[in-house]
């Protein structure tokens, strides 16, 4: 029975092997690319750290509750003045303390500064004003809190229920604003901005509004922004922030672009970049099922340059070095491409497999 000739096949395989090795060496040289290693990578190309907002120490964001017996701008108080023994000699008014000035305009008495006073202090001030104006000789004044002013806060971004929420002035904290919006969403980041317009001096000077907490200060009529990283801020202890009326709280929402893993990996593909943790080279290779060659070692990380120039930088790494030294296990960022490259060793190994397969096929009886 005739058989295939095995003579010329190994020779052709060797020629192919030499060509592949030569091509591998040529492909590694490209002077048009910006090339770096993990040790020579400039600071401008270092991937940012992705912290996990689920590690936030929420208790460090808690704000001590401020007593509600102090009057603040915007509160509605009920004032009762009794000048005799009968109800006919009693006057009652609901008065709103002016939001801008902290003054209360009372019939027959005029403007009185009530913001920042306790209820007892307001009673004493109104009593003195009545006597000084000759309205009553010995009035009995009662001041009651009818409707405390509430801060209207807009919460946007990485929360479960974005919207506008009303928070009582004594509990208007960053923690309360996040809680009112349902807490952080699954794609929330750790960076937060509190933006607000200028506040009148009388309002910011109120002890209820300041109360020893971080109340953002504004300059003139401009918007002022306070930037906070929840993870880092709460690691250092108390990070309570008071959120004033009319403020906007913007929580970072992460939707990073994917990374690409290609070359000598088992499952080359595009992979989602996690929202809440760092991803390094070995992590990306693990996502792709691991290396497909036992001798693969050379890795290229192709990283877009900052801006929209479309240019990229190539960072060359060693798989064995990345396993042995955490500093060589480069931190990745969205849009990175990770390529496990051929080397002469991987080409030789692949060619040997092809030759073995070819020899095995040539020895198969030809029917």
Architecture of the domain spanning 76-147: 2-Layer Sandwich (3.30)
First to last CA, the chain: 8
Q: Are 143 and 78 a contacting pair, CB within 8 Å?
A: yes
Q: Are 159 and 183 a contacting pair, CB within 8 Å?
A: yes
In the chain, ranges of CATH 3.10.560.10 domains: 53-67+150-253, 257-361
Q: Which residue from 126, 67, 53, 61 is spatially nearest to 95, judged by alpha carbons? A: 126
In the chain, ranges of CATH 3.30.1950.10 domains: 76-147
Q: According to DSSP H, which parts of the chain are helical?
A: 8-27, 119-132, 174-180, 201-204, 207-210, 230-235, 281-287, 319-324, 344-362
Residue 271's Cβ-count burial label (10 Å; 0-12, 13-18, 19+) is middle
What per-residue confidence (pLDDT) applies to 358?
56
What per-residue confidence (pLDDT) applies to 211?
40
What per-residue confidence (pLDDT) applies to 10?
56
Q: Please, which contacts does 93-99 make with residues 24 or more away whose CB atoms are closer than 8 Å?
A: 94/146, 97/71, 97/72, 97/73, 97/149, 98/73, 99/73, 99/74, 99/149, 99/203
What per-residue confidence (pLDDT) applies to 169?
82
Q: Which residue from 280, 273, 241, 242 is spatially nearest to 258, judged by alpha carbons? A: 273
Q: If you ran DSSP here, which 8-state letter would residue 221 be given? A: T
d(CA 16, CA 329): 34
Residues of the chain with pLDDT under 70: 1-33, 65-69, 84-88, 198-222, 354-367
Residue 92 bridge partners (DSSP): 80
What per-residue confidence (pLDDT) applies to 208?
38
Q: pTM for the full model?
A: 0.65
% helix / strand / coil in the chain, to the nearest 5?
30, 30, 40
CATH of 257-361, one of 3.30.9.10, 3.40.190.10, 3.10.560.10, 3.40.50.10740: 3.10.560.10
Architecture of the domain spanning 53-67+150-253: Roll (3.10)
Q: What is the DSSP string of 132-183?
A: HTTS-SS-EEEEEEEE--EEEEEEEESBSS-EEEEEEGGG-BHHHHHHHTTS
Q: What tens digit of pLDDT does each residue of 155-185 get?
A: 999 999 999 999 988 889 999 999 999 999 9
Q: What tens digit of pLDDT does each residue of 329-347 get?
A: 999 999 999 999 998 887 7
């Amino acid at each position: 029975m005739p058989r295939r000739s095995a003579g010329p096949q190994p020779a052709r395989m060797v020629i192919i092997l030499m060509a592949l090795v030569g091509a591998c060496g040529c492909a590694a040289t490209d002077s048009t690319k910006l090339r770096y290693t993990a040790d020579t990578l400039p600071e401008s190309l270092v991937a940012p750290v992705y912290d996990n907002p689920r590690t936030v120490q929420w208790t460090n964001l808690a704000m001590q509750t401020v007593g509600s017996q102090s009057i603040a701008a915007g509160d509605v108080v009920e004032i009762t003045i009794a000048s005799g023994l009968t109800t006919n000699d009693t006057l009652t008014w609901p008065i709103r303390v002016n939001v801008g000035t902290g003054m209360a305009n009372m019939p027959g008495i005029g403007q009185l500064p009530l913001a920042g006073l306790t209820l007892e202090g307001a009673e004493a001030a109104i009593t003195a004003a009545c006597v000084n104006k000759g309205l009553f000789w010995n009035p009995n004044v009662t001041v009651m809190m009818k409707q405390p002013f509430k801060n209207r806060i807009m919460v946007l971004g990485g929360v479960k229920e974005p919207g506008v929420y009303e928070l009582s002035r004594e509990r208007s904290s960053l923690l309360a604003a996040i809680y009112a919006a349902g807490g952080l969403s699954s794609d929330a980041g750790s960076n937060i901005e509190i933006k607000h317009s200028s506040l009148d001096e009388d309002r910011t000077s109120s002890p209820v509004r300041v109360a020893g907490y971080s109340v953002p200060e504004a300059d003139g009529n401009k918007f002022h922004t306070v930037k906070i990283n929840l993870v880092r801020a709460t690691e250092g202890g108390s990070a309570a922030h008071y959120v004033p009326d009319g403020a906007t709280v913007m929580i970072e929402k992460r939707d990073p672009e994917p990374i690409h893993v290609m070359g000598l990996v088992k499952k080359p593909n595009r992979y989602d970049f996690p929202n809440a943790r760092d991803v390094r080279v070995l992590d990306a290779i693990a996502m792709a099922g691991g290396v497909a060659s036992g001798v693969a070692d050379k890795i290229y990380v192709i990283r877009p340059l900052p801006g929209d120039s479309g240019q990229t930088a190539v960072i060359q790494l060693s798989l064995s070095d990345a396993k042995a030294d955490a500093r060589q296990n480069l931190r990745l960022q969205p849009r990175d491409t990770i390529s496990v490259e051929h080397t002469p060793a991987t080409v030789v190994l692949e060619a040997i497999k092809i030759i073995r397969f070819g020899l095995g096929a040539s020895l198969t009886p030809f029917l």
